[in-house]
Structure 1
Amino acid sequence: MSRTGPVLIPAAAPGAHVDAATLARHLGNWRTSPDAGPVYHALADAIRLSVLDGRLPLGAQLPSERTLSAALRVSRTTVTSAYSELRESGHLVGRQGARSVTALPRANRPEHRGGFTPAPTAGIDLANASMAAPEGVIFEAYREAVDSLCPYLAGIGLDHYGLPQLREAVAQHYRERGLPTSPEQIMITSGAQHALALLLATYVAPLDRVLVEHPTYLGLLEAVRRHGAKPVPVGVRSVTAREERLGVEAGWEPSAIEIAMRQTAPNLAVMIIDNHNPTGLTMPLEHRKALADAVLRTRTLTVIDESLLDIWHGAPPPSPFASLTAERPELVITLGSMSKSFWGGLRLGWIRAEAEVIRRVAATRPTIDLGTPIVEQLTATSLLGKADQVLPARQALIAERRTFLAAELARVLPDWEPTTGKGGLSLWVQLPKPMSSALAAAAARLGLALVAGPRFGTGGAFERHLRIPHTQPEPVLAQGVELLERAWRSVTGGSGELTPHTLVS
């Protein structure tokens, strides 16, 4: 059976427990259609999905049946039945009347999976928006890296900034895009998510505000919340083709962003304006100029995440946003990554900012890590030199899979409407009913991993939306759509049979 990369689910500290109010927030809008079966079944699905996607840590004690029933405003019998179902499926361990702890079925525990816990339990992954590696190119780059490793073995191998040749290669990448950059303005990180963690640790304290798009990448929201900060959402409007024909415009409203900056005074703003995750939209140049003016007027430190920069279809994005704020260059920090363009397993990214900003982040970095692995940096240096040969084929492949997935959805689920964003690695689909969380839970029992729409927002928004990556081979996408149709029928009162099975061999 083939799989994409595993997801590590954290373990809770011994004796840790989740109170009823916290669990209720984790579950969000968990109730399904009245036609979809008993309420306890929906509750069990929601808790199971929270365990599988890591929102609930393993080994955590869940609240008592009485306190959870009060928090959710359901009968105690409903919670008792849900807990009982979860014990039977292996996602809870404990006796009725005693505190139950979260767990995984035996076949999916880390000791049976080489130390990691994949999600879902078996089958197809439409949760991770990442492509498999271009094997020959990646292998050759690693081989070259190992061959050139010997001179570095005499040193300690720890550096907060990164290898000089890789910093120069990244700086050259920006210069070619029209943004003057020196190696002193680059810090190499272990991926864009690591770069974000460094910036949060440097510039944001608990209870501070961080302005984010709405929807936005779920990893950003989780990072902000775990840091103890408060995400301040500003809308990104996604529209379907039908809405676009009626004159509804998709995208950002720079005036609304400026109002939010003025009213909330965020310590940081984090935005994805190139092939936005999850909508696939790219901010047009006139809106970038308006946003740059807002950043300058409000003096808001703004992070532009370019992780998906290279995954465009039809036309490349405009020049780097930082080129529009030359009068106050210290206000804009740019993140880059090799994960989406080349391979997620490389875990290599960078921060591009003014040299003083880089030095400040470097002073914080030892509290988080001691540097990026040498072999990966050497590999990335080699790959950046081959980008012109590698990326066009990657872009063509993902465009073909995008077209295929859209056609399969139109054939099997014609009431589902993809929105109009044309970049990135996934479709952002509008559902006929606000049942994204219920759908993800039902799909998990079929062996299909999804990320429900509300994971990309705050306050339970986006129940009418679903992100569907088109990174898998076409046969896998076709089977995934078949499972989507079955799961959808099950939660909307159809006759979809929820019998877990494996479709990929």
Structure 2
Amino acid sequence: MVHSRTVAELAELLGGWSVGTGPLYRKLADALARLINDGALRAGDRLPAERSLAGALATSRATVVGAYEELRGRKLIERRQGSGTTVAERVATPVGDGRVAGGRATAMFQRLIDGQGPLISLAWAAQGGSAEVAGALDEVLRYDMTQLLADPGYHPRGLPELREAIARYYTELGLPTSADQILVTTGAHQALVVVAEVYLRERARVVVEAPSWPACMDVFRAVKAELVSIGLDDEGIRIPELAATLAEQVPALLYVMPSHHNPTGILMSDARRRRIAELAAKYGVPILEDNAYAGIAHTESELPPPLAAYAPLGVETVTVESLGKAVWGGLRIGWLRGPVEIIERCARRKALADLGSPVIDQALAARLLPQLPDLAAKRAVEQRARLDQLEQLLTERLPAWSWRRPDGGASLWVALPEVHADVFAQLTLRHGVEVIPGSSMDPTGAHDNYVRIPFTHPPEVLTELVQRLGRAWDELCRHGPSESAPLRPII
């Protein structure tokens, strides 16, 4: 069976194909050959026409023609009258694709596996761990190990001490919580996966913000759910559209990031949280709130309680959070807070996946939880200084770009004037920067001219980053997306 790869799909699979030295046509040929050998492209798959692929990759048609000729010489693809260019039938299909499969987050996950190399990658808004992690680890080794080693070590719901600490954390935020409402997960990503498995079935509808983070949307797509996108204003998800959608479509889940939304950095207002909770109660829609960046604030605005605190009795609200942004992503500790019966269902799926997260990591997290507000505030001060630096650099080097200063979080959501960000992202690769374009975060097309620029890199890297972005922008403005035609290989 012949499968036609769309231009967008193939561009995503190719990822950073243009990085490195050598002619572009050969680098493109090598990247396509890797996809074929890994099984991401299979025997009989139809490849896009040369002109279409050239447009998506911001290169010349001659580059794609040269790459296809190279692959024909290697007997990896073939051209048939009426069938276009396809992967050769003689190519053996591997048992499984060794590369990351999935949706719009595929290239980002593959970058983690491959390593960043010479690129400055903007795929991840994360930085190194807080110094307090070392002190807490020393306390675990000194005072907790005897008790931990006396225990069998299997806690599918989470280490009791950590669950108690998380429950106290929410109670102090104005959301009374007991330990049996908490499930510890291996990072926030696993928490989202578990919730999707509990709530969603094939063709179930999930209301999401537009834009949103592609890895989160891919979690829902993985269970074959359908996404319904609703835009944002300066207070969060737009209420008129949300009300109409809930009334017409009866979604299985409403997914929002109320506290410093990723990628816009918007802090959802107190009034907006209350209105969302009222609508969820009226239409019987469960809420999944993701508070990954909750404590990373860049304004003096007081952080409202979690959205769950506004939910009327009977509204199912599940809160996802982690230590990843405020403390350290390497700790891989996240959690769910929700109704006891929902947490029980999630715990059963968590147990099937891994029987529980590592106990020593959880003991370390239990030591750190009481410090979480202070650690988040400290991280926010560091990132605010980098935000100021990035805004100044962009204003000086790229004055045509525009953005709204984020209320919190770790990135700028930047609009490029009259340019499709997918094309610009291909050019930035050749200048040593991996950019995630807006099309990855909003399937509606409303943010195709946007890019997300994290400011979690060290100051000297931010300076170099803006210089590279500036050179890529100069090339685009002066010469357009195409390169001069390379010499065609003689096979």
TM-score (norm 1): 0.78
- Alignment of 1:61 with 2:41, yes or no, is yes
Letter paired with 1:454: S
Aligned partner of 2:292 in structure 1 is: 307
Q: Which residue of 2 aligns with 1:138?
A: 133
CA distance 1:67–1:383, change in 2 (3 Å): closer
Q: Is the 8 A contact 1:93 1:103 kept in 2?
A: no
Match of 1:489 in 2: 474
Counterpart of 1:321, as a letter, is L
Which aligned pairs between 1:312-323 and structure 2 lie closer than 5 A? 312-314=297-299, 315-323=301-309
Residue 344 (structure 1) shift: 0.8
Query: AA paired with 2:170?
Result: Y
Q: Does 1:234 align with 2:230?
A: yes
Give the SS at the match of 1:372: coil
Cα 1:494/1:142, change in 2 over 3 Å: farther
Deviations 1:188-213 (A, max 9, x none): 01111110000011111122111110
Q: CA deviation at 1:326?
A: 3.6
**Which shifted more, 148-157 or 268-277?**
148-157
> Is 1:118 aligned to residue 115 of structure 2?
yes
Give 1:497 deviation, angstroms: 12
For the residue of structure 2 that corresponds to 1:397, the secondary structure is helix
Q: Is the 8 A contact 1:409 1:481 kept in 2?
A: yes
Aligned residue in 1 for 2:18? none
Distance 1:336 1:87 in 2: 50
**Partner residue of 1:156 out of 117, 128, 152:** 152
Structure 2 counterpart of 1:423, from 408, 416, 441? 408
In 1, distance between residues paired with 2:120 and 2:357? 32
* 1:325 is the counterpart of 2:307: no
CA contact (8 A) 1:27 1:47 kept: no
User: What residue number does 1:5 align with?
Assistant: none
Quick check: 1:284–1:318 contact (8 Å CA) kept in 2? yes
> How many Å apart are 1:421 and its aligned residue?
2.8
| Residues 1:199 and 2:195 are matched in the alignment | yes
Take 1:475 and 1:433, find their aligned partners in 2: how far apart are those partners?
30
In the alignment, is residue 293 of structure 1 matched against residue 278 of structure 2? Answer: yes
In structure 2, the CA distance between the partners of 1:405 and 1:46, relative to structure 1 (3 Å rule), is farther
1:359 matched to 2:348: no
TM alignment of 1:8-23, pairs within 5 A? 19-21=3-5
In the TM superposition, 1:75-474 aligns within 5 A as 81-82=63-64, 84-85=66-67, 95-97=76-78, 99=88, 116-119=113-116, 121-134=117-130, 136-147=131-142, 148-237=144-233, 251-314=236-299, 315-329=301-315, 331-474=316-459
Counterparts in 2 of 1:489 and 1:58: CA distance versus 1, 3 Å: farther
Choose from 464, 487, 490 the match for 1:479: 464
Query: Which secondary structure state, in structure 2, belongs to the residue aligned with residue 149 of structure 1?
Result: helix
Q: 1:211 aligns to what SS in structure 2?
A: strand
Other structure's SS at 2:152 match: coil
Deviations for 1:347-366, whole angstroms, at most 9, x for unmatched residues?
11100001111111112223
Whether contact under 8 Å (2:183, 2:335) holds in the other structure is: yes
**What is aligned with 1:242?**
none
How far, CA to CA, are the matches of 1:366 and 1:59 in structure 2? 32
SS at match of 1:367: helix
Structure 2 residue aligned with 1:107 = none
* Structure 2 residue identity aligned to 1:441: Q
Q: Distance in 1 between matches of 2:482 and 2:126?
A: 29
Between the aligned partners of 1:202 and 1:175, the Cα distance in structure 2 is 25
Structure 1 pair 425–367 and aligned structure 2 pair: CA distance change class (3 A): same
Letter in 1 for 2:310: L
- In the other structure, the counterpart of 1:36 is none
Structure 2 letter corresponding to 1:286: A
In the TM superposition, what is the alpha-carbon distance from 1:171 to its structure 2 partner? 0.6
Amino acid paired to 1:470: F
- Stretches of structure 1 lacking an aligned partner (at least 5 in a row): 1-16, 31-40, 105-112, 238-248, 499-505
Amino acid at match of 1:160: P
The AA in structure 2 aligned to 1:442 is L
1:170 Cα deviation after fit: 0.5
- Structure 2 unpaired stretches of 5+: 15-23, 79-86, 100-109, 484-491
Matched with 2:102 is: none
CA shift at 1:417, angstroms?
A: 0.3
Q: Is the 8 A contact 2:403 2:414 kept in 1?
A: yes
- What is the CA–CA distance in structure 1 between the aligned matches of 2:467 and 2:67, rounded to whole Å? 26
Aligned amino acid, residue 61 of structure 1: L
Q: Which moved more, 1:147-156 or 1:397-406?
A: 147-156
Which residue of structure 2 lines up, in the alignment, with residue 502 of structure 1? none
**Offset of 1:489 from its aligned partner?**
2.3
2:4/2:45 contact within 8 Å kept: no
Distance 1:347 1:83 in 2: 45
Q: Is the 8 A contact 1:18 1:60 kept in 2?
A: no
Distance (Å, rounded) in 1 between the aligned partners of 2:238 and 2:430: 39
What TM-score, normalized to structure 2?
0.80
Which amino acid counterpart does residue 20 of structure 1 have in structure 2?
Answer: S
Cα distance in 2 between the residues matched to 1:46 and 1:252? 43
Q: What's the secondary structure of 2:209's corresponding residue?
A: strand
Distance 1:184 1:202, change over 3 A: same
Whole-Å Cα distance in 1 between the matches of residues 481 and 445 of structure 2? 26
Q: Which whole-Å CA distance do the structure 1 matches of 2:238 and 2:74 have between them? A: 48
Cα deviation for residue 494 of structure 1 reads 4.0
Structure 1, 423-432 or 218-227: larger mean CA deviation? 218-227
Note if contact 1:488-1:496 (Cα within 8 Å) is conserved in structure 2. Answer: no
Distance 1:71 1:264 in 2: 40
User: Partner amino acid for 1:479?
Assistant: E
Distance 2:30 2:422 in 1: 11
